[in-house]
Structure 1
Amino acid sequence: MATREDEYATFVRARSHALLRSAYLLTGDQHLAEDLVQEALARTHRSWSRLHETGNAEAYARRVMYHLQVSVWRRRKVAEFLPGELPEPAHRGGPDDPDAIAWRITLERALGSLSKRQRAVVVLRYFEDHTEAEAADILGVSVSTVKTQAARAIEHLRKLVPHLREPDDERRPTA
């Protein structure tokens, strides 16, 4: 029979990659994402006996990640400025296609230009596929804040990456 430590190790092996993807989208930096996942898994380990019994280990680890990242965002920092224009991607091909690489870089830069809260909302709503209520609960904000931040983020992303516009956006008059 597997011990709790073996079960925890199995959980870590099975879910670390998915947690790391989400953490990278939240932080925008591979090393910070790894640190975030490591801390979330450490806290999950401390609560493993309770979490394992209820089957909520991954949800708990993700919630810890989001809360830790929000805490980082709340700390005072020197404002960052990313100079330069974003390149226009020609099309999206395979993962090694130069155009696909340029597209990913464009999207990564655009996501990096969002405010920290907007990025968290985009990750939760559109990458993790959480509802507005779930995202609000995870971030500890109101549903209306999630809606506002999501709308502002999408508007900002569409300005930076015109290819993200919906097909009928072309017909809408600009104000």
Structure 2
Amino acid sequence: MRPDLEHDYTQYVAARLPRLHRIAYQLLGDRHRADDAVQDALTSLYQHWPRVHEVHNLDAYVHTMVVRAVLSDRRRFWARVQLWGSPPEPAGPPHPPDEPGVEQRMVLRQALRALPEGQRTVLVLRFLCDLPVEEVAAVLSRSEGTVKSQTSHGLRALRRLLDVSEFSALRDGAA
């Protein structure tokens, strides 16, 4: 790749890497698998970088690549195989423990992970990535009606999970 294109790619990735990791982490719930998914997407982006000027909305294109890498990671057979007798300790929160609101974020992440894959993916894309319904439908190759339906069902399920979880106790204790 030409040095000027390489520099542009490096600048683009450096500016967006934290957001891409956050998206993948919210979808997968595992930092290491999220790193792998982002790396897969960025490797593919690097290979296509000389033609990237043809893309109308580069950020949406890259978000699509990350989401598809996440979905591909979930489909891999080895991702479902556990090679240990008992589950490992869950990874700690990605933020310092003394930061306010950590408990609420952890409870929210746990509730998100309890949702079906489709609902969780739609909610993360709609509300974390702030994508409109049309873009989410394009990213996931689903109809806009399906995205709206999954958003509605996902929010209802999330509210139900958060009402019966310790989120209520945390919310009441913080008031």
Q: Shorter-normalised TM-score: what interval?
A: 0.7 to 0.9
Aligned to 1:84: none
Indicate how the Cα distance of structure 1 residues 54 and 137 shifts in structure 2: closer, same or farther if over 3 A, else same: closer
Aligned to 2:133: 132
1:122 matched to 2:132: no
TM-score w.r.t. length of structure 2: 0.74
RMSD: 2.6
Q: CA deviation at 1:127?
A: 1.2
Q: CA deviation at 1:156?
A: 0.9
Indicate how the Cα distance of structure 1 residues 55 and 48 shifts in structure 2: closer, same or farther if over 3 A, else same: farther
CA contact (8 A) 2:112 2:158 kept: yes
Aligned to 2:50: 49
Identity %: 37
- How far, CA to CA, are the matches of 1:58 and 1:131 in structure 2? 13
Aligned to 2:107: 106
Indicate how the Cα distance of structure 1 residues 75 and 5 shifts in structure 2: closer, same or farther if over 3 A, else same: closer
Q: CA deviation at 1:158?
A: 0.6
Is the deviation greater in 133-142 or in 67-76?
A: 67-76
Aligned to 1:69: 70
1:27 matched to 2:28: yes
CA contact (8 A) 1:133 1:143 kept: yes
Deviations 1:69-119 (A, max 9, x none): 2234455786xxxxxxxxxxxxxxxx725x722211110100110111111
Gaps of 5+ in 2: 81-96, 169-175
Q: CA deviation at 1:58?
A: 2.9
Deviations 1:43-74 (A, max 9, x none): 00001011146564433221111122223445
Aligned to 1:167: none
Gaps of 5+ in 1: 79-94, 165-175
CA contact (8 A) 1:44 1:60 kept: no
The one-letter code of the counterpart of 1:62 is H
- How far, CA to CA, are the matches of 1:53 and 1:143 in structure 2? 25
Counting matched residue pairs gives: 148
Higher helix share: 2
The structure showing larger relative contact order (alpha-carbon pairs under 8 Å, at least 6 residues apart) is: 2
